[in-house]
Amino acid sequence: MAVRSRTGFSRQEVNRTVWEVPERYRDLKQVGTGAYGTVCSAWDRRAGAQVAIKKLHRPFQSKLFAKRAYRELRLLKHMRHENRSFRGHFRPFLNADYKIKLQFLVYQMLKGLKYIHSAGIIHRDLKPGNLAINPDCELKILDFGLARQADAEMTGYVVTRWYRAPEVILNWMHYTQTVDIWSAGCIMAEMLLGKPLFKGNDHLDQLREIMKITGTPAADFIVKLQSQDAKNYIRSLPKVPKKDLHSIFSKASSSAVCVLEKMLLLDPEQRVSASEALDLPFFSEYRDADEETEALPYDQTMDNTDLPLDQWKRHTFTEILTFRPPRDSRETSL
């Protein structure tokens, strides 16, 4: 039950957390929670649409948290795409959903990634829990809190292991947008199998699980590795041949397996891009090239700046005050 709070705001308790939101938002229901925040769905009475509201946990407790909150806010403001926004009655993506129009779901995921990547951004935490679908089978990519620019330093110890690209696990090399393509391949594989494809118990076990299918890398890939320790480790592994994905996905069409073969490649330079993947025959039934839009470049200047906590607060409030929601509620990201 919402109770009156500040003028123009109402207060509501959801799962023992108090939410104080503008009165236009009603019927808050929690849809997800994580280490950095909680997301509720709400009905926007003014727009006549369902929206998502994210409440960050103590965003200004440190410079790191403040910078992260600022970056997430700016990324959300920058992204304007139908597979990035939040509209309609969405629910978390579940394994059982793999039966519902696989082609359409994967197509939308790649269409969203093409848009994100065109801005020079890597999501880097793409996993089933960061996807949502509604009853009309519309897919949305959620949670940009961990997203970083393609040319910034990334650690690799924050994403969910089962969907983590192999080059991230041992910090092999400079990462590119193809880390998201690997994750997309893992998600597509899970939709086909009904269970995760690579389910390692730790970093090295995850790598071993991956190589059971991709095979151990050849010498031309090993020389690309920046870490001598990584080179020595890979050379020490017993040679395992690449598995035929058709034998693992025996019930899938050859065109579906073709997509997986191009996404689940050990060498990130050989992986298909989101734009190239959309050209594959598997997606021809749903493809609308006019809808495969690209974004304006994302200005990363502030993201690589080290500022005091108070300045991060000030920049965050400025971003909030200058936000102008788009007229089309279907593209409202915040």
Q: Give catalytic residue positions.
A: 125
Within 13 Å and on the Cβ side, how many CA atoms surround 146?
21
148/273 Cα distance (integer angstroms): 18
Q: Match 């069409």 to its residue by tokens.
A: 253
Q: Which residues does the annotation place in the binding site for ATP?
A: 55
196/186 Cα distance (integer angstroms): 7
33/16 Cα distance (integer angstroms): 13
Identify each DSSP E strand in the chain by its residue range: 3-4, 9-14, 17-22, 25-33, 37-44, 49-56, 91-92, 121-122, 131-133, 139-141, 148-149
293/82 Cα distance (integer angstroms): 10
Q: Which residues does the annotation place in the binding site?
A: 55
Of the candidates 132, 242, 251, 239, which has an alpha carbon nearest to the alpha carbon of residue 192? Answer: 251
Q: Are 261 and 188 in contact (CB under 8 A)?
A: no
Q: Residue 331: phi, psi to the nearest 5?
A: -110, 20
16: left (phi over 0), alpha (psi -120 to 50) or beta: left
70/291 Cα distance (integer angstroms): 29
161/204 Cα distance (integer angstroms): 10
Q: Kindly state the tokens that stand for 66.
A: 């403040």
